[in-house]
Amino acid sequence: MKKHVLAMGGGGFTSKPENLKLDEYLLSLSNKKNPKVCFIPTASGDDESYRRRFYSSYKKLNCETSHLSLYWPPEGDLREFVLDKDIFYVGGGNTRNLMVLWKEWGLDKYLYEAWDNGAIMAGLSAGSICWFEKGLTDSVTGKLLPLDCLGFLPNSNCPHFDSESQRRPEYHKAILNGSMMEGIACDDGVAAHFVDGKLKCCVSSLPNAKAYNVSAENGKINESIIEPKYL
């Protein structure tokens, strides 16, 4: 089974419901005509309006939709619920809270098992960085800090690279001081597609958006552009 992760810097139905190119690309990764897509809005505190936007957007696409709340969990066995799904889309919000709740419920282990069995993992912002070893998060109000994440993917991740002015300098700073390892950063509208832990390609729903490989050498930042395929 191929292990897919689609890590989005921003965009998709969350901010641009009129532009579902990233969402359509996500569905195209499944070998099923009507895949079961599960939205996980933990990071937003299961925000109801966020959940409505997911259903409103994805009903336009060829898929079967559901959502997973840890505040009002589904009846029956949580593991069975998770293993029944084909695609997981994790929404944005507070990544630190997401990590705590997932581990308390064992959801991190169930998702890994599902991923190991061929389920596709995806998400934006918090739902992007959560799959990596570390991510740059604004979970503490007013600060951008490194956070230990799930480690499905190696190295680190930073979303919103073009839309939030402090993202780039703080990501550079964290890599230079060793609190984060090298990684990939994505502008809004860009998704990094990983297969079996390696970057396969980047895609974009916006014509000028970019992705970047970011690393440090001899006390200096190396930042190389990854030109995404415009969908």
Show which residues are catalytic: 125, 160
Alpha carbon distance 183, 216 (integer Å)? 10
32: CB partners within 8 A, 6+ apart: 86
From CA 148, how far away is CA 134, in angstroms rounded? 5
Residue 8's H or E segment, with its range, is: strand 4-8
CA distances from residue 149 to 2, 20, 111, 128 in whole angstroms, order as listed? 21, 27, 13, 10
Closest CA to 89 of 116, 137, 118, 126: 126
